[in-house]
Structure formats: C-alpha cells, structure tokens
C-alpha cells in the first residue's frame, strides 16, 4: 500500500493556517474545479507544469540540448531561449538541467512512504502544538487512492491527519477518504447554484449534498469561504452559508479567508491568463462585518490572518476546535 505513488505539488512545513497547531501540508496536484480567483494555479493540472521565469536565465543552453521535442530554441537575434508551448509535452527534462530556476518543473511523483518520511520530520512539533499533517491540493480526492493511503499511513504512525477538500465528487467515491480523516476542512464558496457555476465552473449541488452527509459522520469539520470581492463579499451571502452550516453538529468553526490579489506573475510564468486583475483584498473592517453577520447564525467564526479574528462562540467561550490551545501557554495571548 505504501508504495502507492501520488503527484505532489509541494510539501510545506510549518503551516499555521491549514488546521490546528503546526502542520505540514501536502499539496496534491490536480483539481476538478476552476475558481477564477485560484491562488495556486500551479496545482490545477494533474500532470507536471513547467514554470518559466526568463529573467533568471543565464543562457547556458542546457535546456535546448535536453529537449527532444523541439520546444526550446535559442533565438538567433536576442540569444534568449524561445519556448514553444505547443510542442512541449511537460516532460520536465529541461527543468532538470536548468539550475538557475528559469525553468522549474512543478510536480513530483512520490510514494506514500516517501511523503511519510518527510512529514514525520516535524513530529515533535505536531506533538507539542496539537498539529499534524494536512492533505490539500489541488483537490486531493482527484488522487483518491493515494489520498486514502496517505491518510491511513499518517494515522497509522500516530500523526493527526486532516483532509482539505472541495467535496466535489460523488459521495460513494469520496466517502472512504472522508472517513479516514481526523478532521475535514472544506469550502462553501457560494450558495447560489448559478453563481457557483460561473465562478468555479461547476454547480454546488453535489458539494452541499456531500456536506450534509459528511456532517452526519461526526468527523470534526471546519468550513471555509474565500471572501472574494464581487462574488460573495456580502453579509447576505455569508449569512446564508453560515445558516446552512449551523446545522452541522460537528462543526468546529467557520473561517473566512480574505482574497489576496496575486499579481499576474504566477499565472504568467505558467502561461495562463489572470482574471482577477484590479480586484483588491477586502478590508479588515469589512471582514469583521462579514464575520459578525455569520455569527448571527450562532456559530463560531474566525477570520484568517487577523489577530483579533478569533472564534467567538455563541453560548460558551470554550476554545471551539482551536486545538492549538497548547497546555504550556497560560496567560493572555
């Protein structure tokens, strides 16, 4: 089982935003939705991506020699490296020989054991902080067998394993992964079916259906909404989502993630168009107002990245699911 291989975009250690405590997040490659605001366009395609940053090129010519598909040529006039994307099969051979990071291959194939070896490095930090491993994406359920195997392996080694998913898959398929996770984090981006399709390319019917079924499993849940100006940044929309999820008994809290403008460079280096130019980050005040409207549904709400964006649970002021109330820390934080 543990030699099952997955395609990984990145393994990132010391993550503080992907669940409780200090975590290592394993970003799997490939996604079945296409949100216009996507922050991680390099995780979208299931295959390797070739990222180019021509300003880093030292014109060594190695990539031209490596490419057997004729996709790289030296421009006779400028000496620059010309890149024919239409010839490129994303094999990554050029990136292997490019040490200046002018060409970078995004994506590695790693076995469960290899991933486990790396994530286990921070075990002591997870233990002390109540953290663990988060499997994210892309969309991890696009590599379902690998995801399930990795979740099992982590838990088998005593590591808290969280799954971050968009829930866009048939229930029968994803249920097995959801059952293997210690914690599930998923997004509800919009309640309107039509607008959801406009913004993400798919309808939300299946997501909402899966969310309801998931809530019956009893697995601790964190629901998140990326707050994107022009799409869902109204108290009305956020209030609707909050009311919807307020029925989930195992909901730990609802988290609002403010949209961050990316700039075009990341998309450019992948040769993709960026559609969010000119859209700004929502202000802390507007985020607070949205959080307040969500709280009216009687649930705990957090705003990511805001120091005063704590959970304010209705009823008691227990630390709802912020499992990172480490025992060694007393006093005010």
Partner 1 sequence: MTTATLSQPLSYSDRLERLKQTKLRQTRQKRDRNGYMDRDDHGTAPLPDGFSWSPIANHSNGSFYRSKGWAANFKSLMEVHPVYVDANDALAGRWMVYLSSYRRCGWFPDADFSHLKPEQELYGILSGIGAQQHFGPDYRIGLALGWGGLLAKVRRCHQDHGLDKSEFYEAEQDVIVGVQDWIRRTVAAINEAESVETDPTLKANLHEMAAVNEWLVDGPPRTLREACQWLAWYCMVSRIYNGDGAGGQLDELLRPYYERDIAAGRIDDEEAIFTLACLLLNDPHYHQIGGPGADGRDMTSLISFLIVEAGRRLGIPCNLTIRVHDGLDPDLFNLGVRTLLEDKKGWPRFSGEKGLTEGFMRNGYSEALARERIAVGCHWMAIPGREYTVNDCVKINAAKVFEVAFKEMMRESETVVPSVSRLWSLFAEHLRRAVLCTAKGLDFHLAHQKDNAPELLINLLCDGPIERGLDASAGGVDMYNLCVDGSALATVADSFAALEQRIERERKLSWAEVARHLSEDYRGEGGERVRLMLRSGERYGQGTSLGDDCAIRISELFTGLIRANLTPEGRLMIPGWFSWSSTIPMGRVVGATPNGRHAGAPISHGANPDPGFRKDAAPTAMAHAIAAIQPGYGNTAPMQLELDPGLARDRGAVDALGCLIKTHFDEGGTLINVNILDADQLRAAHKDPDAFPDLVVRVTGFTAYFASLSPEFRQLVVDRLIEA
Restricted to residues 37-66, the positions that interact with partner 1 (CB under 8 A) are 58, 60, 62
Residue 103 or 256 with smaller CB distance to ligand SF4:
103
Q: Are strands 183-187 and 161-165 parallel, antiparallel or unpaired?
A: parallel
188 near ligand SF4 (CB under 6 A): no
Question: Would you say how long the chain is, in residues?
Answer: 333
Sign of torsion, CA 136 142 143 145? positive
161 near ligand SF4 (CB under 6 A): no
In the list 113, 306, 312, 319, the residue contacting partner 1 (rule: CB under 8 A) is: 306
Residue pair 314/298 in contact (Cβ under 8 Å)? The answer is yes
Place of tokens 């709280």: 295
Residue pair 250/220 in contact (Cβ under 8 Å)? The answer is yes
CB of 323 to partner 1, least distance (A): 11
In the list 103, 106, 223, 313, the residue contacting ligand SF4 (rule: CB under 6 A) is: 103
Residue pair 223/187 in contact (Cβ under 8 Å)? The answer is yes
Nearest Cα to 165, choosing from 152, 153, 179, 77? Answer: 179
Residue 128 or 209 with smaller CB distance to partner 1:
128
What distance in Å separates the CA atoms of residue 175 and residue 144, rounded to the nearest whole number?
10
173 near ligand SF4 (CB under 6 A): no
SS3 271: coil
211 near ligand SF4 (CB under 6 A): no
CB of 283 to partner 1, least distance (A): 15
Build a one-symbol-per-residue string for 126-165: x at contacts with partner 1 by CB under 8 A, - elsewhere.
--xx------------------------------------
74 near partner 1 (CB under 8 A): no
Nearest Cα to 60, choosing from 89, 103, 92? Answer: 103
In the list 40, 118, 206, 262, the residue contacting partner 1 (rule: CB under 8 A) is: 118
CB of 94 to ligand SF4, least distance (A): 3
319 near partner 1 (CB under 8 A): no
In the list 29, 72, 189, 302, the residue contacting partner 1 (rule: CB under 8 A) is: 302
295 near ligand SF4 (CB under 6 A): no
What distance in Å separates the CA atoms of residue 292 and residue 95, rounded to the nearest whole number?
48
Residue 105 forms beta bridges with which residues?
A: 50
CB of 299 to partner 1, least distance (A): 18
324 near partner 1 (CB under 8 A): yes
Residue pair 20/322 in contact (Cβ under 8 Å)? The answer is yes
Residue 26 forms beta bridges with which residues?
A: 11, 135
14 near partner 1 (CB under 8 A): yes
203 Cβ contact list (under 8 Å, min separation 6): 193, 196, 197
328 Cβ contact list (under 8 Å, min separation 6): 128
Restricted to residues 207-266, the positions that interact with partner 1 (CB under 8 A) are none
What distance in Å separates the CA atoms of residue 220 and residue 181, rounded to the nearest whole number?
9
Restricted to residues 78-97, the positions that interact with ligand SF4 (CB under 6 A) are 81, 88-94, 97
What distance in Å separates the CA atoms of residue 235 and residue 282, rounded to the nearest whole number?
13
Residue pair 302/321 in contact (Cβ under 8 Å)? The answer is no
CB of 104 to ligand SF4, least distance (A): 10
63 near ligand SF4 (CB under 6 A): yes
**Positions in the binding site for ligand SF4 (CB under 6 A):** 50, 57-63, 66-67, 69, 71-72, 81, 88-94, 97-98, 100, 102-103
**Positions in the binding site for partner 1 (CB under 8 A):** 10, 12-14, 16-17, 21-22, 58, 60, 62, 99-101, 117-118, 121-122, 124-125, 128-129, 302, 305-307, 309-310, 324-326, 328-331, 333
């Amino acid at each position: 089982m543990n030699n099952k291989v997955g395609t990984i975009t990145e393994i990132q250690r010391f993550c503080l935003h992907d669940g409780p405590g200090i975590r290592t997040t394993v970003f799997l490659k490939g996604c079945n939705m296409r949100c216009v605001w996507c922050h991680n366009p390099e995780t979208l395609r299931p295959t390797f991506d070739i990222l180019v940053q021509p300003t880093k090129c030292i014109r060594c010519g190695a990539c031209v020699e490596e490419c057997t598909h004729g996709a790289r040529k030296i421009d006779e006039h400028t000496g620059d490296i010309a890149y024919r994307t239409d010839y490129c099969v994303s094999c990554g051979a050029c990136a292997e020989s490019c040490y200046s990071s002018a060409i970078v291959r995004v994506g590695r194939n790693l076995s469960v054991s290899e991933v486990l070896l790396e994530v286990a490095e921070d075990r002591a930090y997870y233990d002390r902080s109540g953290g663990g491993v988060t499997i994210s994406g892309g969309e991890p359920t696009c590599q379902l067998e690998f995801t399930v195997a990795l979740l099992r392996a982590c838990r088998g080694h005593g590591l808290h394993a969280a799954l971050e998913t968009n829930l866009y898959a048939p229930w029968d398929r994803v249920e097995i992964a959801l059952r293997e996770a210690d914690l599930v984090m998923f997004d509800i981006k919009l309640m309107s079916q039509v607008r959801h399709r406009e913004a993400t390319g798919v309808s939300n019917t299946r997501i909402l259906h899966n969310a309801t079924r998931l809530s019956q499993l009893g697995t601790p849940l964190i629901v998140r909404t990326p707050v994107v100006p022009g799409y869902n940044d109204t108290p009305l929309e956020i209030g609707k989502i909050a009311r919807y999820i307020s029925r989930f008994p195992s909901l730990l809290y609802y988290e609002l993630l403010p949209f961050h403008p990316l700039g075009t460079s990341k998309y450019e280096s992948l040769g993709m168009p960026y559609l969010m130019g000119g859209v700004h980050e929502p202000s802390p005040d507007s985020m607070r107002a949205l959080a307040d409207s969500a709280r009216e549904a009687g649930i705990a709400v957090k705003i990511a990245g805001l120091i005063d964006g704590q959970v304010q649970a209705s009823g008691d002021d227990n630390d709802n699911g912020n499992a990172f109330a480490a025992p060694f820390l007393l006093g005010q934080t």
